[in-house]
Chain A
């Protein structure tokens, strides 16, 4: 078990390194050197530019810059954002929890709902219900998430006015608002963006699981259980679900990259102050340190997701301890 865990940790590390390396390579291959915002404001006086470049170590050979970045990162120093004038780590620390909240809610909702839909489909395999649910999942699977978000925003935020029109909190909430009131406020703002992410993700899960569940329900031991007179509900919940748990967990771990990508679009549409929007802004403004920091965080998240999925799968099913 320890050997397995160690190897998985190694894989995680490689993932993180890959993320940083790719972003580093892209940033330095692209035309134009990493720009120091101040240089332009100093009207590009060459002496000052040279001094600033030396100060930030931008005149060293690339491999050295890379090594230095990694060494600093390991110590928790991710540099400073040129554009936002703050330390990258503080920016990430601020925005990451918001995205985790959003993604977490979406994952919980989508996996719950997705499994439910898949179960319903599997039980009713071949009937109109299966067809209807299948069509619905396919439609949501084919839908652009950002467009869905816009439509939801219009319908529920504008036309019906039930939910807020974006952001994470209502403006100017009084300082002495109770924690419960504040939590409720955030929750209200969370509904639409989480729903957008979740609807698409539900379709993914349902599509993935339907076939596996149909297979499981056809297995001899299920038929035996039914023959023994076990209630259908018990059969479904106890046996079928348990069998499908392992692949679902793997899917969950593997959906982290997709969720990160989805969060960029959804956070932009809803103005949710999370990592996705931060990454988008960083890329648009060529804020190199922030881009690297975001890539690093993304890498860590993905690695953690895979790691958790692997460990959970191994715990659930000893056959998978490869």
Chain B
């Protein structure tokens, strides 16, 4: 099966890989202790299927002990042991490796190898998603092959370009800029996948990927986003669209450290001037929706009837007037104390959707007297500047985690990915309450309050969440897509009986 992917992988080593393509390939090559099932239940133990671990048992409220499969081996034949697990955590945490995933593993205090087959994980605190955090975010890597590589040089090591992993798939080759090939590993103890080979064909951008798909040069594409592309794929006889709940949510994030954007009332006024519905219709037609808050359809909390700011230009104008922002000189832009009401928005050039949406927002804000300046930046520069807090507003596009607890990464005071600098004790305490709930019924109203807190404070404007569609060739059968990671169940995909491989 040929997968069209826009953008080459950067490295094939879990802790240091940064891009989407890399993460899809890595997920095929490196094992986790356990993996989520289709239900995406991150709270219950039953939501997980064993992968590397044969079973696990809870020793006490802070400790889980995993017993590894005796049959598990790395693809060079060496058995996988608990030492590998300990080693992997160490690599993730090492500052020299500078893994962006380290914060996700922060709740793990330590992992010890009780014996070759038992890894004992101790957590820093008691909370319902302990299993989720260690199983979902930790890939196990071979200690015997990576130990000798200096941590700062991991990304440029030969291993990172030709990894030896363990799992249903084995690495074959990576032709940079062109393709990555993995093949079915018949020695994997949990059974081989139906397909023989997976080929990621690297293409320069999304539209070329769609073109390749339509031209029969690829069999699958993770997301077909733009409306015109969706219509083209829908009309193609050899392809079909497979919808799945989107993990994606995009919008504008304010840097609340910078005046005047530290003024909550101002942010709320601007948010009310944005016609989110029109933007969604323009970008996606019927294939997208306005999120109810900082969440997406994939997360189970997305059904909560959270209170949101309305789209109301009259109210927005009135609010701006009340705050003292008026257009004194008739140039269409409001001022206060001689300072014009201007907002510089950083947008990555790689995202056509975001650029298009930004222009729509610009037009909408102009009508209420706010001048939005769009600054397109190359993605790396965009990422660096926003990470360093060097921006007024940014157009973000987040791939959410199945668990709403992930909201902390962006919104909790001082969180590493909290690029906008939002700090609200009210939010922090509401969040802590929600994260501590042990059942979904208990948690839902708490999460609703969390979402409402964010909507009220308007640290950002949550503009769109596309309704994801994967484009898949009809000759593929049994295609199930797990929303947080579309290829998670690829081992069960197969060719329709009469199609050639």
Contacts and interface: CB of A to CB of B under 8 A. Distances in A.
A271 B10 contact: no
B155 A271 contact: no
Given A83-B380, A172-B2, A42 B100 contact: no
Interface string A252-277: 00000000000000001001010001
B388 A40 contact: yes
B177 A95 contact: yes
Contact of A285 (B2, B381, B388): B381
Contacts of A161: 215
A132 interface: no
Contact of B217 (A38, A44, A86, A170): A170
A37 interface: yes
A35 B387 CA distance: 14
B177 A165 contact: no
B211 A158 contact: yes
Given A171-B179, A171-B199, A85 B156 contact: yes
Q: How large is the interface on B (under 10, 10 to 19, 20 to 34, 35 or more residues)?
A: 35 or more
A31 B227 CA distance: 39
B384 A165 contact: no
A284 B378 contact: yes
Contact of B203 (A41, A48, A80, A167): A167
A170 B387 CA distance: 38
Nearest to A38: B98
Contact of B211 (A42, A48, A166, A168): A166
B444 interface: no
Interface in A47-106: 48, 80, 83-86, 91, 94-95
A38 to B, nearest CB: 6
Q: How large is the interface on A (under 10, 10 to 19, 20 to 34, 35 or more residues)?
A: 35 or more
B290 interface: no
B181 to A, nearest CB: 7
A267 B197 CA distance: 29
A210 to B, nearest CB: 38
B191 interface: no
A305 interface: no
A168 B218 CA distance: 14
Contacts of B126: none
A297 interface: no
Contact of B176 (A40, A42, A94): A94
Interface string B202-219: 011000100110010110
B354 interface: no
B236 interface: no
* Best-buried of B95, B152, B161, B211 by chain A (most CB within 10 Å): B211
Contact of B10 (A38, A84, A169): A84
A165 B201 CA distance: 13
Identify whether the interface residues of A are mostly helix, strand, loop, or mixed.
Answer: loop
Interface in A284-299: 284-286
Contacts of B179: 169, 171-172
Contacts of A48: 95
Nearest to B215: A165
B217 A271 contact: no
Given A35-B384, A165-B215, A171-B201, A41 B100 contact: yes
A242 interface: no
A41 B155 CA distance: 13
A157 B178 contact: no
A221 B287 CA distance: 75
Nearest to B416: A43
A41 B15 CA distance: 12
Contacts of A286: 378, 380-381
B11 interface: yes
Contacts of A170: 217
Contact of A42 (B11, B95, B217): B95
Interface string B348-370: 01000000000000000000000
Nearest to A287: B380
A164 interface: yes
A85 B11 contact: yes
* Best-buried of B4, B100, B217, B349 by chain A (most CB within 10 Å): B217
27 contacts: A37-B380, A40-B387, A40-B388, A48-B95, A80-B156, A85-B10, A85-B11, A86-B161, A91-B176, A95-B177, A157-B211, A161-B215, A165-B212, A166-B211, A166-B212, A167-B201, A171-B179, A171-B212, A171-B217, A171-B218, A172-B2, A172-B179, A271-B203, A273-B178, A284-B378, A285-B379, A285-B380
Ranked 7 nearest A-B pairs via Cβ: A172-B199, A171-B201, A273-B177, A41-B98, A284-B378, A40-B384, A171-B2
Interface of B: 2, 4, 10-11, 95, 98, 100, 152, 155-156, 160-161, 176-179, 181, 197, 199, 201, 203-204, 208, 211-212, 215, 217-218, 349, 378-381, 383-384, 387-388, 416
